[in-house]
Amino acid sequence: MEGLAPPLELLTCVKRAVEKGQSVKQGVLYYIKKNEGEFPAVVTQWLALLQQGYDPKDCVQGLSSLHRRTLLQILERGLRGEAIHGVLVRLEEELIEACQDEITNKIARLPFVMLVPLLIFQFPAFLMLLFGPLLQNFFHSLGAG
């Protein structure tokens, strides 16, 4: 699952654990143990707050992504004992669609981004080729006159 979006990877780990008959907590712990980075650290903090009996609302609200917040809220319900498999399946479809939309947007922007090296490196070289002989003739005619 290298290269997956972090919330999609967490969702997949939890969904797989639930389908194996394990608890939601075991799926979350497997995700935390297996991954490193910013989102697993947030998930670790979120799980620690839940286990200590605190309200993790501030931790969840600090996330910028709506999908990440929604996923943690659904997992919180699952940790409290609610059945969340159907919700996880629907959220997985939405996350996959959101990832595909993001990929499509980045691919659509790529030609414009690739114009930057063209303008920075190749355009000045083209101008030198174009104006070089003209400038050489101009300076030669000034010096001969």
pLDDT (tens digit per residue) in 114-133: 999 888 888 888 888 888 88
SS3 145: coil
Q: Which of 62, 24, 23 is nearest to 42 (CA)?
A: 62
**pTM of structure:** 0.75
- How does pLDDT run across 27-62, given as a tens digit for each residue? 999 999 998 889 999 999 999 999 998 888 888 888
Query: Would residue 94 count as lying in a domain?
Result: yes
Residue 72 burial (C-beta neighbours within 10 Å; 0-12, 13-18, 19+): buried
Domain span at residue 96 reads 6-107
Query: Would residue 131 count as lying in a domain?
Result: no
Q: How far apart are CA 59 and CA 45, in angstroms?
A: 8
Query: Would residue 128 count as lying in a domain?
Result: no
Query: Would residue 137 count as lying in a domain?
Result: no
Residues 88 and 18 sit within 8 Å (Cβ to Cβ): yes
What is the residue whose two structure tokens read 């629907």? 90
How many domains are contained in the chain? 1
